[in-house]
Structure formats: C-alpha cells, structure tokens
Amino acid sequence: MKKTFAVSIAVLFVCVSFAAAKEMPARIFHREQNIKWKEHQLEQQKERVETRKSLQGKTPEEKKAAWKPLKEKQQAENKAFRQKMHDENMAFLKTRLAENKKMTDTQKNELIIFFETQFAENVSFRDRQHSENVSFLAKIAADTSLTQAQKKEALRAHLHKQKEERLLHRKQQTGERKSLREKSKSETKK
C-alpha cells in the first residue's frame, strides 16, 4: 500500500513536472527580462549617485550643467534598452507562435500586430509624458513669481497627474490584452 502510494506520488510529480516544463520557457524568459531591466536601472542609479557625489560643493549652475547631459543620455539609453527588450520579446513570441499548431496563421499575425501596436503606443505615450515633463520643468524654473515651496507643490501635482495617466494607460492596455486572450481562447476552441 505504501509502495503504491509512493509510486502514485512519483507519477503525479513527473506529470506535473512535464506540464510545468511546457510553461517554464516563457516564465524563465520573462523572469530574465525583468532581471535585465532591474540591472539596467541599478546601473543608471549608480551613475546618478556617482554624479551627485562628484557635484558636491559645486555651484547650482555647474550642477545643472552636469545633470542635463546625464539625464538626456539615460533617457536615450532607456529608449534603446526598451527597444532591445521589445525585439527580444517579439523574437521569443514568434518562436513560440511557430511552435503553436492550434492557432491559424491569421491569428498569429493578429497577435504579432497587436503587440507591435501596443509597443508603439507605449513609446508614443512615454515620449509625450517626457516632453510634458521637460516643458513643465522649464516653465516652473523660469517662473520667478513662485516660491520654492510653490514650485515643489506644482511639480508634485504635475507628477501625480502623470502617474494617474500612466495607471489609466496601463489599465487600458491590460484590458485590451485580456480581451485578446479571451478572443483567442474562444477561437482556438472552435
């Protein structure tokens, strides 16, 4: 009896392992993508910390002159890094779709177009928010009628507004992906 139970457990474990192995490549890939993104962010943070330390004792004009190129450089790096990650994601998706025998070529192409469109929307959204930030900061810096506290409060309100827009944008895209998943599931079951 004990031996039969142990064998049953072993068989169940093997079955679960095979089922998990089928899903694991995607999970592993996306986990690796997250690790790369976090490493990229940490690298940039170290660069900012080093810059901050090197600027101690400098005049506000010197600090401003040093920060501007760094911010522009990191913005460009982030853009390039996101594009690289997107390219890797799309290559992985296309590989997985090529292995998928349940979906039609039309469904596969729709999926690829969908993710390309969402990426383009994200790039456009980030560019718009970045442009808004740059113009807002320039406007606030140039406004001599505001006190430092008023400038901080205006910046806080601006960033809060942008955070709400970002959350709404993400929620909308999540809803679109969920609808696509449900549509794909219903079409592949037919």
Angle, helices 60-99/2-54, rounded to nearest 10 degrees: 150
> With a cut of 70, which residues of the chain have pLDDT below it?
1-23, 188-190
Q: Identify the pLDDT of residue 15.
A: 46
What pLDDT is recorded for position 185?
80
Structure confidence by residue, pLDDT tens digits, 52-73 = 999 999 998 888 889 889 999 9
Residue 85 near residue 33, CB atoms below 8 Å: yes
Neighbouring CB atoms inside 10 A of 189's CB total 7
pTM of the entire predicted model: 0.77
Q: What is the pLDDT of residues 22-52, one digit of tens each?
A: 557 889 999 999 999 999 999 999 999 999 9
Q: What is the pLDDT of residue 22?
A: 55
Q: What is the pLDDT of residue 11?
A: 46
How far is it, in rounded angstroms, from Cα 126 to Cα 72?
14
pLDDT at 23: 57
